[in-house]
């Protein structure tokens, strides 16, 4: 990728489009700090604000070009910087059982949600996005996987919004029933971290069980986040193999649609793990990363209207809902048996 590819045509309308996504992302961050809205998280709020802006105010082509820049280019930078959230030592120190539970939940959700999406006749790319968002890390996984499968902006926005909405519903449900689950605090932390969608959802659901449960829940969740890299490479490999087979071409590493910015995420995680930057600096960088990803979410929201959301999202939401229920049951059984 050339440096020029990262730069938009800096016309005033394009700059206004980028500035609009920044304003919406900052508004989403403020709203997410309010009671109840913190459960939703700033990413889903940013998507919804973008959609509301388009429906009420409207956007023209130049503004959309700026919004697209945020949803594509700035997104990649945000995901790379999000690696400062991940300390690989924490995952290692949590032990093999926690890692295997996180991996089992991820694999189960990928297979089940994608299978249900095909059963519900969801478009293939949207089904993959819904499965990845449910299995790995919500909206961030959706937008990270989208370039690998060549999903368009409407599919990406609908997939991200669906997964974020589902995560919000299950977060509320978890906070209501956690005292009835017959799980110790640490067991509940593994359960919440292994089955909920966004990091914000995990934090909101695990907090009532205490600091120990919250800490372990975040570690389990970040283990799933770390698995985003091999999952993206695997999906890229499978798609490339199918396309190469259909076209009668030889598959090579150079043609493999690997999302290289995700490898950047892993590299930054390793950089953070060795402690080159302080915890305060890493926290500030992660906050900035979420702002960039929030701009990307707002850009996605500006590119989709509610009519498209209703047309494309209903079946995917149903598949994701059924899959999330099964994931919760599966994750609960894993905790009861192995933790």
| pLDDT digit string, tens, across residues 259-277 | 677 778 888 989 899 988 8
| pLDDT digit string, tens, across residues 129-142 | 999 999 998 888 89
Cβ atoms of residues 215 and 186 within 8 Å: no
Give the separation between CA 268 and CA 291, rounded to whole angstroms: 18
Lowest mean pLDDT among 144-148, 151-155, 216-220, 249-253: 249-253
pLDDT for res 160: 87
Give the separation between CA 105 and CA 330, rounded to whole angstroms: 7
pLDDT for res 241: 79
For residue 1, name the pLDDT band (cuts at 50, 70, 90): very low
| pLDDT digit string, tens, across residues 85-110 | 888 888 888 889 999 999 999 999 99
Cβ atoms of residues 83 and 269 within 8 Å: yes
pLDDT for res 295: 92
| pLDDT digit string, tens, across residues 20-66 | 999 999 999 999 888 878 777 787 788 889 988 988 888 777 788 88
| Burial classification of residue 211, based on how many CB atoms lie within 10 Å of its CB (0-12 exposed, 13-18 middle, 19 or more buried) | exposed
């Amino acid at each position: 990728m050339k440096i020029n590819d990262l730069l938009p045509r800096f016309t005033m309308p394009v700059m206004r489009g980028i500035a609009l996504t920044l304003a919406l992302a900052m508004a989403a961050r403020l709203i997410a700090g309010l009671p109840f809205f913190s459960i939703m998280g700033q990413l889903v709020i940013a998507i919804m604000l973008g959609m509301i802006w388009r429906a009420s105010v409207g956007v023209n082509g130049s503004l959309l070009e700026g919004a697209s820049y945020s949803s594509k280019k700035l997104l990649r930078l945000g995901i790379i910087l999000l690696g400062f959230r991940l300390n690989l030592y924490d995952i290692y120190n949590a032990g093999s059982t926690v890692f295997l539970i996180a991996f089992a939940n991820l694999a189960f959700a990928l297979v089940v949600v994608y299978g249900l999406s095909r059963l519900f006749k969801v478009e293939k790319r949207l089904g993959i996005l819904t499965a990845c968002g449910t299995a790995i890390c919500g909206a961030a996984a959706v937008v990270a996987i989208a370039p690998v499968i060549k999903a368009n902006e409407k599919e990406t926005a609908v997939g991200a919004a669906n997964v974020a909405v589902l995560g919000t519903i299950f977060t509320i449900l978890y906070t209501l029933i956690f005292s009835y689950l017959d799980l110790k605090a640490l067991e509940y932390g593994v359960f919440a971290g292994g089955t909920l969608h966004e990091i914000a959802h995990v934090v909101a659901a695990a907090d009532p069980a205490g600091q120990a449960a919250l800490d372990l829940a975040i570690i389990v969740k970040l283990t799933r986040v770390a698995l985003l890299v091999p999952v993206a490479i695997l999906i890229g490999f499978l798609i490339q193999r199918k396309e190469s087979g259909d076209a009668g071409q030889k598959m090579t590493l150079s043609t493999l649609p690997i999302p290289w910015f995700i490898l950047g995420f892993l590299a930054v995680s390793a950089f953070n793990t060795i402690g080159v930057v302080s915890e305060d600096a890493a926290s500030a960088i992660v906050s900035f990363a979420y702002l960039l990803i929030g701009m990307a979410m707002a850009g996605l929201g500006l590119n989709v209207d509610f009519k498209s959301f209703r047309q494309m999202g209903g079946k995917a939401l149903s598949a994701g809902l059924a899959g999330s229920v099964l994931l919760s049951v599966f994750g609960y059984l894993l905790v009861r048996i192995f933790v």
